[in-house]
Structure 1
């Protein structure tokens, strides 16, 4: 981060307490930080402040935060967007990057990890391929996440597509695999 310039950062998360805490922590680390808890407020703040960095939750008021990436980039061209989510999956990470996000982190993420992810150059975004293949639980989780994304987060439609009881799907979603 250039110390001669105070970088502007926008946090978009529908949890008001989390949003406030993250904005405060980022402000303490040298950012001119703003927070929005809904889509309209996020786009308005992006227009008003042209943030260089945006931390975007994957779920905004029950809707996909991915739908906000393009409007945020239109409001603030060149912004580096980090998608932050409690439901990390390869499918949503790929979708986020295709739409223009530069990084993707799973919650909980430390403030310093968020800053590091935002400031890493594009050439450093490549990560090492893991030595071990994914576990069966992880493969199932990834498949569920792809089907859930294809049904715009609708649990009932996803359960029908997977030929699974809705409550079973909800239990599986509540327990992400360790790795």
Structure 2
């Protein structure tokens, strides 16, 4: 890659990658290095926060669900240390509620897994002025409904009766929906 292609990165190219999927984080680190970043990897919330305390990176890609906790804790720690950091949150669950929470906590963007290095680079370097193109495969209406039901179910601490009451739905209907796999 020519040097001018890295110009939009700026002088600080430090990138923190936090994901508990070791093969994925290793591949992503290699791919991001080829794109001009200087990646540091962590496989847990604790390791990610330790790196942030040591030297807060300019960029970060953080998985939402990690074995030892929530990736939003790393987002919060990085925002405190370095308010100008560009942070992308990855989620394997595509949950709208958690994505909104991530953006409210200071993430620049969020992407559903599997996200490739090109998508991640575009999200890290986007200025937010131009809207991104619409997704190639947007969620179906059934999937959006299912996501909403899941969010309310989680907010009610997985209490089926309370969730059914809040959604104005019969409890048995809700149980049938929850028992099924998520729609595509």
| TM-score under structure 2 length normalisation | 0.76
1:72 equivalent to 2:78? Answer yes
State how far apart, in whole Å, the 2-side matches of 1:97 and 1:85 are.
Answer: 13
- Name the SS for the 2:129 alignment partner: helix
- Name the SS for the 2:77 alignment partner: helix
CA shift for structure 1 position 146:
4.4
**Cα gap change, 1:111 to 1:146, in 2 (>3 Å):** farther
Question: What residue in structure 2 maps to residue 122 of structure 1?
Answer: 128
- Contact map agreement 2:45 2:69 (CA 8 A) in 1: no
Question: What residue in structure 2 maps to residue 158 of structure 1?
Answer: 158
**Cα gap change, 1:134 to 1:115, in 2 (>3 Å):** same
Cα RMSD of the aligned pairs, angstroms, is 2.9
State how far apart, in whole Å, the 1-side matches of 2:61 and 2:23 are.
Answer: 15
CA shift for structure 1 position 7:
0.7
| TM-score under structure 1 length normalisation | 0.77
Which runs of 5 or more residues in structure 2 are unaligned?
1-5, 164-170
Question: What residue in structure 2 maps to residue 29 of structure 1?
Answer: 35
Superposition pairs of residues 13-28 of structure 1, within 5 angstroms: 13-28=19-34
Superposition pairs of residues 86-165 of structure 1, within 5 angstroms: 86-125=92-131, 135-148=141-154, 150=155, 157-158=157-158, 160=160, 161-162=162-163
CA shift for structure 1 position 14:
1.2
Question: What residue in structure 2 maps to residue 57 of structure 1?
Answer: 63
CA shift for structure 1 position 171:
5.1
**Cα gap change, 1:93 to 1:125, in 2 (>3 Å):** farther
